[in-house]
Structure 1
Amino acid sequence: MFENTLFDNSESAQGGHFADVILPVPIPKMFTYKIQKELLAEIQIGQRVMVHFGKRKVLTGIIGRVHQKPPKEYEAKPLLELLDSNPTVNPLQIKFWTWMSEYYCCHIGEVMNAALPSGLKLSSESKIQLNPNFDPYETKYPMDPREQVILDQLETKDELSYEECGKLLQLKSAHHIIKSLVAKEAVLIFDQVKEKFSPKIENRIRLHGKFIEEKAALEGLFELLSKKAKQEELLLRYLQMVPIYQKPELNEAGVDKKLLLETGSSPSTVKTMVKYGVFEEFKKVISRFDGLQVDEPKLVELSDAQDQSMQAIKAHFEEKQTVLLHGITGSGKTEIYIKLIEEVLDSGSQVLFLLPEIALTTQIVNRLQKVFGSKMGVFHSKYSDNERVEVWQGVLSGRFPLVVGVRSSIFLPFDSLGLIIVDEEHETSYKQFDPAPRFHARDAAIMLGYLHQAKVLLGSATPSFESYYNARQQKYGLVEMAHRYGNAQLPDFVLSDILSDKKKNLLKLDTTRQLREKIQAALNNQEQVIIFQNRRGYAPFVNCEECGWIPECEHCDVSLTYHQFGEEMRCHYCGFKEKLPKKCEACGSVSITTVGQGTERIEENLSMLFPEARIARMDMDTTRSKYGFQKLLENFGQGNIDILVGTQMVTKGLDFDKVTVVGIVDADRILYFPDYRAGERAFQQITQVAGRAGRREKTGSVIIQTRQPDNPIYQSIIKGDYRNFYLQEMGERKNFFYPPFIKAIKISVKHKDHNIAERGAKHLVNLLNSIEVKKIILGPEKALIGKIKNLYIFEILVKLDKSHQVPAYFKQELMRQIEELQGDKTFRSIRFVVDVDPG
């Protein structure tokens, strides 16, 4: 842990005090800055500071250490500005960042950049705008002449940069003036590359103060309005909503103007009453999370089986930090989570509830909200930067002792975590691929729990092999739930042979007879259907029937996916798009056809097969908006959608009473992906999506369309035989040295020149071979997709012995050698990407 004393006096030197500052840039160490005497008394570890970096850049950094040793390599610049009176980041977070940078082979500045919301990082690109809630005539703060100059300028301009403010005031730096204006709530800061700060504002109405102070004045008002029916009615409605006779203090807050208008009053009547001084109209900035209040928390009762599982989890927690809850789909894991959260919150500790992605949060957040109300904060990528800052501040202040969020939630400023729950812990969405740090949130959460001395509960119906292995090795506790909650039955599985139906001419629009019959039966019974296909777009690719030409991305080594909406072909790696060609670019033929099927095409096919059905699609294309998932799921839950077609989003945690049929369009595509985890992923995805069917009394049906119904993996899925499938797969992994028996590190070498990328990769392999540890090095090989965004990619896979300090030592040497390699002029422009525990 960090020292309690602020100043590190282990080495004294001339020249006063210095601060080591973490900067959001990919550099291997903290930079040292001189602390001015006037700031010395205010400095604390974890505060944000504004500093010069390089010739022109101004960045926000975090104070990581304070000492009296000046840097030897350069002259320390002074700190520009302290941005906080209290720390924004606590010492435990800095320790966690340090661990993450070392474990995942990146720099602490890259971790900081990922951890802090943009609203907490200012730079030379930062700008200011007038606070929409600022009234120059009612402000309680006096403005000095320089502050007034900036405010006057903002009356005519929407925004000003820091640099423009300095020029306007003829100062080298205007930071202290801007800081004062922020403190006086006159301006707001935003980042040029992000959206402006847009506070949530309500227009409110209240009765003028004179009618509250004098009862006679209010009575006189009623007499005055007695012949003006609409205005009198408006006044009466207001008094019904705000009982000022009983509680006159309620008038100060007034009512939301929108609510007043919804009662039937016209905007013109309100405007007239404001004009003549009966009402006052004012604006109020409100929290985006004020709507999470719950008057009567919903009580959760556990069944006997759930209670036994919860007691088993608590018993394991007596001896072990981490427990794996292996409960089949529909077994009632969420109720156990809720009970454990209640106990931890009652003890005064914090709880972090991790979910793999936003698709899952909608239903679970609603369930948790009914229990925990305003104690709960929600944190995910679809939130605006302003909302993320608000949750960060809510955790700091203690307003949100419970946070439900995605992988980035592990960076929030917790100071007393008691429990971390990682739901659906097997999900690949927990792995961050780009940019650095390329962490796995499940593994990072276990370390975060260790630092806080908190318990970690991993939950899944299909655990990752790594977690199940750790549980069988008794590193984790293991609790298993083999039955569904209540009277719910496991679904019936049907293996529907695509090739057999094709021979018999029963295959219509890529659907087998069995799938069509089950969908029709569900529609006849007014039940719902989920169709799963893990590929979005209309068709995976387009080709020429004459010569076989396939349009490819100009910047990546992949074919373009055809999207019928917009009639364009898109690259799902770099975003490149172009219109569907009218003729072949190779031979000139007009015989251009689409091949394969994505969710868009399946949606179209189903609408032709079942014209009476209401069909919707859930994939990245239909859920880009902030509330896209939520609206779709609400519609589905209300019964406004009969068939929901989707990618892996539909496999995760959805719980709907009326879903009785699940169809998997092309199971073989999941199974035969070129990855040693393909079998594990196929088992997980098919089991998870199958678990959406028949979650109440009625038994559901799962139709798996396949060209190989005899494949043993399908029998394991149908029987729900996870353990035997795990043992079979693990035998192969052990024989061929794959995780969890070894530690894997993948290094990608990228450059716009193919030859330089290949030479750099080969040179790095020669250097890695010289590291004296037990290891296997594979490659360099051209990546599966050899070029992305105009960069050629070669990959090196290192398999390390897990024993003792081998991985840690190898990582240190790897980073040292990459640094040396980039010092060579030939390889300086190469990008080396290190991925520890690649997904």
Structure 2
Amino acid sequence: MTKLIAEIAVEKTALHFDKIYDYIIPENLLESAQIGCRVIVPFGNSPRRQGIIVSIFEETEAKKGLKRIKELLDSEPVLSKEMLAMAKFMKERYYCTFYEACAAMLPAGLGMKLTYAYTYTQDGAEAENLSADESMLINFLIARKKPVRHDILLKNMGFSDDSLLIKLCKKGYILKKEVIKKRFLEPTVKMVRICEGADIPERLSPKQSEVVSLLQTAGECSVKELNYFLGVTSAVSDGLVKKGICEYFEEEAPKYIPSVESKPKQQPVIFLTDEQQKAYDDLLERQNSGKASVSLLYGITGSGKTSVFMKLIDNAVDVNNGNVIVMVPEISLTPQLLNKFTTRYGDRVAIFHSGLPIGKRLEEWKRVKNGEAKIAVGTRSAIFAPFDKISLIVMDEEQEYTYKSSATPRFHARELAKFRCAENNCLLLLSSATPSVESFYFANEGRYGLQVLKTRYGTAQLPEVITADMNIEQEQGNMSAYSSKLLEAIEENLKNQKQSIILLNRRGHNTFVSCRSCKEVISCPNCSISLTYHSVNHRLMCHYCGYSIPVPKKCPACGSEKLRFGGTGTQRAEEELSEIFPNARVLRLDTDSTMQRFAYEKKLAQFANGEYDILLGTQMVAKGLDFPNVTLVGVINADQMLYGGDFRSYERAFSLLTQVVGRSGRGNFEGKAIIQTYAPENPIIALAKSQNYDKFYNSEIKLRKAMIYPPFSDIGVVAFVGTNRNLVEKSAQHFSELLKEKLANEYKGMPLVILGPAPALVSKISNKYRYRLILKFRNNKAFRSLLSSLLCELGADRNYSEVTVYADINPENIM
């Protein structure tokens, strides 16, 4: 008898035994089971695992021992054949499991969780000699009539564990069954406050006393903020809750849901300059060709690149009734772009980024899948928008590192965009004022199209850029973070009621604390990194693991009281600025000042409305922002961007400096930018000052070629992480030996450069040691087969079961 067999990708499989597994489709699911639907299947010792159907075929005689699908989770496919093909592409190139690739494409609100529910039996209803708790529980189940989920039952009964449930199940009084719980909870913030009428004892631990004192003053605060300001862990507040002094409660997290016009306003006509029109005509020809292609729109800051790709979107949506994906590198840039899109296209726009509430994310995903939205705008996750057919993909600021995922699967959105364009025979448009070296190389080689915008739009001109030599400033006795040139420019801007942006890419107050006697720098015990002083909470903090301590009075190493605070962070820069200009309204934007959800968007809106005079922050203030009243940009300590130890350090520094300088003079007023440096002769500083990307590229590409770096090779990092330093090092050495052995035998002649293994630049994070092997290679099928086999072989070796091993191809940082 013919049977239908489903090939299924199953969750929670290790890489070394990840494959597509066969399952029999039972008769009751023959008509409803489809490719792309999620299912529940037995797997190994687990009776229930989620999976997704990859293909279906007929088998006249099914293999012996094949298991059956237990349950179908979807009435229609959640992934199309195109998306399943992309999952296969991701598995092969990013060394993840098939299911991990599929899961990355689905919105969080669509997830399912297996849990348990309980219901009473007839024996339970008639049981005698029950304890008070047992009677109460059974009566509760009888009253509810329907099965009650495990977590809800424990919460309502006030039970701390499920021992009573287990006991009653064994007696046959209640039944336990598995159920599927939808992961559809809106985000909340965990808050803490003192219980009303609480009797606070005199004897509390010092940390508990600090928490109580703060809550008596503030009333309530989030656990996250409590831990930050007092440097405590959640264990302290947990202890106060157990004693009945404090209580936790959930507060709905602030929601950022951009307003979307149900009907678009009358579309303003986009007027293009001759230069823009030439670029648009060339791109339109590519767009209408019906062939897959990639093109780079390279234009200086303020040249009107957005206007060009907006007209292309008009053609795709209004003329050809097509679908469009538009990606931006950061959530913070989404609101500005969204305002343009929603005004122009109304509810045909869907929003994709992790900052949205889970329910909203699911709703937007469904709107795209059901054909209600034609344009998906968002961060890298927008590349997974479930369009059946795509007419255009736009990648704004294509050089940004945030398009690369740092977690499994470690994909780059640009590579997936190329895949989807090839599948849909459409145009991928990359847009940037400072393109990645690889993209500009491919454009010059003819692999990509190239359109260039050399002048700013309208009357706007590039700002005057001045270099401030901080060596001279210190010789003249100026030891502050600000040069005299920058202070004079800020003062003039304040008088003229113009706004300024100051970039300092270091948060905290001081970047390190050292001892003048023994020269020891106070470091994190969990990470191989120095602690940063934060003046807001008066603590030394680790920016990797969150460890913090009060500022010590003596050196922990030698006991000397001669401690020195060095380096300048945004908190100190803000403090100095407020002292020099007491009447200036200063807005600081960094990770610490934007802890609350959507604080960044709100603060940027306040700056745009003129509520602040000076915007001071880390790199989040440098990119994509368009404020017509900003006529001054200052860069503090430009040098620290240049020496990151990575081959992309110069590229990142040039891009960041060029981008932040480009924030000045974008309106009808002349702009100025001042770059502070101790190395004014550095060529990157000089090139950023002149905004000369072409000269930078010509210099950088020669260096890349000489060192065999991308685009002249691919580069990858094989990382080894674990708590046992010797075992981590041993696993890295063993992997390296296996690699060399394979290169000498079955992969003989493969061009491959091996560097290491060696400790990572930050060799320990959160008490986990990190080693890495750097590879330079050609990313072809043979190399992928080699690396995959090595990862599987080491993953299956029980000697290294405590070591996590992963590969990251073309990462943003190899150190």
What TM-score range do you get, normalising by the shorter chain? 0.7 to 0.9
Instruction: Kindly state the Cα deviation for residue 830 of structure 1 after the two structures are TM-superposed.
Output: 1.8
CA displacement, residues 592-634 of structure 1 (integer Å, 9 cap, x when unaligned): 3321011121111111111110001111222233321211111
Q: Deviations over 1:352-375 (max 9, x none)?
A: 100001121121111212111111
Counterpart check, 1:113 vs 2:103: yes
The superposition leaves residues 740-775 of structure 1 with CA deviations (integer Å, 9 ceiling, x where unpaired) of 001111111122222211121112112222232111
Who is 1:189 aligned against? 182
User: More deviation in 538-547 or 376-385?
Assistant: 538-547
SS at match of 1:337: helix
Aligned partners of 2:7 and 2:20 also within 8 Å: no
Name 1:775's counterpart in structure 2: 752
CA distance in 1, matches of 2:571, 2:533: 10
**Contact 2:6/2:54, CA 8 A, preserved across alignment:** no
Unaligned runs of 5+ in 1: 1-12, 129-144, 179-187, 198-285
Q: Distance in 2 between matches of 1:512 and 1:75?
A: 76
> Which residue does the alignment assign to 1:249?
none
- 1:135-182 deviation line (CA, Å, top 9, x unaligned): xxxxxxxxxx99842479999887899x9999799556454xx7xxxx
Q: Which residue matches 1:807?
A: 780
Deviation per CA, 1:425-446: give whole Å up to 9, x if none: 011111111x211111122211
Structure 1 residue 87 corresponds to structure 2 residue 77: yes
Corresponding letter in the other structure for 1:585: P
Mapped partners of 1:543, 1:52: distance in 2: 58
Cα distance, 1:835 vs. partner? 0.6
Whether 1:658 and 2:655 are equivalent positions in the alignment is: no
- 1:473 is the counterpart of 2:445: yes
Which residue in 2 is equivalent to 1:625?
Answer: 596
CA distance in 1, matches of 2:70, 2:386: 25
Aligned to 1:833: 806
- After superposition, the Cα gap between the structure-2 partners of 1:543 and 1:47, relative to the gap in structure 1 and judged at 3 Å, is same
In 1, distance between residues paired with 2:666 and 2:155? Answer: 54
Aligned residue in 2 for 1:242: none
- C-alpha change, 1:455 and 1:395, in structure 2 (3 Å) is same
Distance 1:78 1:489, change over 3 A: same
SS of residue in 1 equivalent to 2:439 = helix
User: 1:22 touches 1:112 (CA, 8 Å); kept in 2?
Assistant: no
Change beyond 3 A, Cα 1:290–1:532:
closer
Aligned to 2:433: 461
Task: Give the 3 Å change call, closer, same or farther, for CA 72–334 of structure 1 in structure 2.
Answer: same
**Which of 90, 109, 115 in structure 2 is aligned with 1:100?**
90
The residue aligned with 2:23 is 33
Assess, with a 3 A threshold, how the Cα gap between structure 1 residues 70 and 796 changes in structure 2: closer, same or farther: farther
8 Å Cα contact 1:496/1:704 also seen in 2:
yes
Q: 1:623 to 1:54 in 2, by over 3 A?
A: farther
Deviation (angstroms), 1:829: 2.2
Q: CA 1:126–1:53 in 2, change beyond 3 Å: closer, same or farther?
A: farther
Measured after TM superposition, the shift of residue 471 of structure 1 is 0.3
Q: Work out the CA distance in 2 between the residues paired with 1:649 and 1:289.
A: 20
Match of 2:52 in 1: 62
Q: Residue 103 of structure 1 contacts residue 808 of structure 1 at CA under 8 Å; is this kept in 2?
A: no
Secondary structure of the residue aligned to 1:123 is: strand
Aligned equivalent of 2:522, options 544, 551, 562:
551
Equivalent residue, structure 2, for 1:363: 336
Deviations 1:24-64 (A, max 9, x none): 65442133333221011111111122334454574432211
**Structure 1 residue 564 and structure 2 residue 535: aligned?**
yes
Sequence identity (%): 35
Q: Which residue of 1 aligns with 2:308?
A: 336
The whole-number CA distance in structure 2 between the counterparts of 1:460 and 1:174 is 51
1:350 equivalenced with 2:323 (yes/no): yes
Q: Deviations over 1:339-362 (max 9, x none)?
A: 111211121221110000112112
Alpha-carbon distance change, 331 to 158 in structure 1, aligned in 2, over 3 angstroms:
farther
* Alignment check: 8 A CA contact 1:321 1:476 kept: yes
Query: C-alpha distance in 1, partners of 2:714/2:331?
Result: 30
TM-score where L is the length of structure 1:
0.79
CA deviation after TM superposition for structure 1 residue 546, in Å: 2.6
1:450-493 deviations in Å (ceiling 9; x for gaps) = 12222100000000000000100101100000000100010000
User: Could you tell me which of 780, 792, 803 is aligned with 1:819?
Assistant: 792
Question: 1:492 and 2:464 equivalent?
Answer: yes
Tell me the SS of whatever aligns to 1:17: strand
Alpha-carbon shift at residue 544 of structure 1 (Å): 2.3
Residues 781 and 795 in structure 1, CA contact (< 8 A), matched pair in contact too: yes
Q: Where does residue 520 of structure 1 map in the other structure? A: 491
How far apart, CA to CA, are the structure 1 residues paired with 2:512 and 2:491?
Answer: 30
- Supply the distance in 2 between the matched residues of 1:392 and 1:458 (Cα, whole angstroms): 24
1:60–1:121 CA contact under 8 A, matched in 2: no
Query: Secondary structure of the equivalent of 1:417?
Result: coil
**Alpha carbons 2:467, 2:674 under 8 Å: kept:** yes
Q: Which amino acid aligns with 1:485?
A: Y
Cα distance in 2 for partners of 1:793, 1:287 equals 37
Q: More deviation in 417-426 or 379-388?
A: 379-388
Does the 8 Å contact 1:528/1:660 carry over to 2?
yes
- Taking structure 1 as reference, are residues 291 and 618 closer, same or farther at Cα in structure 2, changes over 3 Å only? same
Residue 413 to residue 316, structure 1, CA distance change in 2 (3 Å) = closer
Q: 1:34 and 1:747, CA in 2 relative to 1: closer, same or farther beyond 3 A?
A: same
Is residue 2:398 matched to residue 1:439?
A: no
RMSD of aligned alpha carbons: 3.1
- Say whether 1:504 aligns with 2:501: no
1:595 aligns with 2:585: no
User: TM (normalized to structure 2)?
Assistant: 0.81
SS in 1 for 2:730: helix
CA distance in 2, matches of 1:113, 1:591: 54
Which deviates the most, 29-38 or 811-820? 29-38
Unaligned runs of at least 5 residues, structure 2: 119-141, 190-254
- Which residue of 149, 156, 168 corresponds with 2:146? 149
Q: Which residue identity is paired with 1:444?
A: L
Secondary structure of the corresponding residue to residue 472 of structure 2: helix
Q: Which residue of 1 aligns with 2:262?
A: 293
**Offset, 1:566:** 1.6
Aligned to 1:642: 613
Match of 1:686 in 2: 657
- Aligned-partner SS, 1:780: strand
Deviates more, 1:441-450 or 1:608-617: 441-450
Give the equivalent residue in structure 1 for 2:229.
none
Q: State the distance in 2 between where 1:399 and 1:779 align.
A: 52
How far has the Cα of 1:312 moved from its partner?
2.1
**What is the rounded CA distance, in whole Å, between the counterparts of 1:567 and 1:350 in structure 2?**
52
Query: Match of 1:537?
Result: 508
Deviation at 1:69, TM superposition (A): 5.5
Moved more, 617-626 or 320-329: 617-626
- When residues 191 and 344 of structure 1 are mapped into structure 2, their CA distance, relative to the original with a 3 A threshold, is closer
Higher mean displacement: 649-658 or 816-825:
816-825
- Given candidates 113, 122, 147, the residue that maps to 2:112 is 122
CA 1:685–1:70 in structure 2 vs 1: closer, same or farther (change >3 Å)? Answer: farther
Q: In structure 2, give the amino acid aligned to 1:20.
A: I
Give distance in 1, aligned partners of 2:554 and 2:61: 65
Partner of residue 667 from structure 1, selected from 638, 641, 645? 638
* Match status 1:302 vs 2:271: yes
Matched with 2:584 is 613
Q: Is the 8 A contact 1:125 1:191 kept in 2?
A: no
In the TM superposition, what are the counterparts of 1:726-805 in structure 2 within 5 Å?
726-769=697-740, 770-771=742-743, 772=748, 773-800=750-777, 802=778
2:386 pairs, out of 386, 392, 413, with 413
Partner residue in 1 for 2:205: none
**Residue of structure 2 in register with 1:709 after alignment:** 680
- Local SS of the residue matching 1:623: coil
Assess if the C-alpha contact under 8 Å between 1:18 and 1:32 holds in 2: yes
- 1:154 and 1:815 mapped to 2: Cα distance? 41
1:73 to partner: Cα distance: 10
Cα distance change of structure 1 residues 16 and 692 upon mapping to structure 2, 3 Å threshold = closer
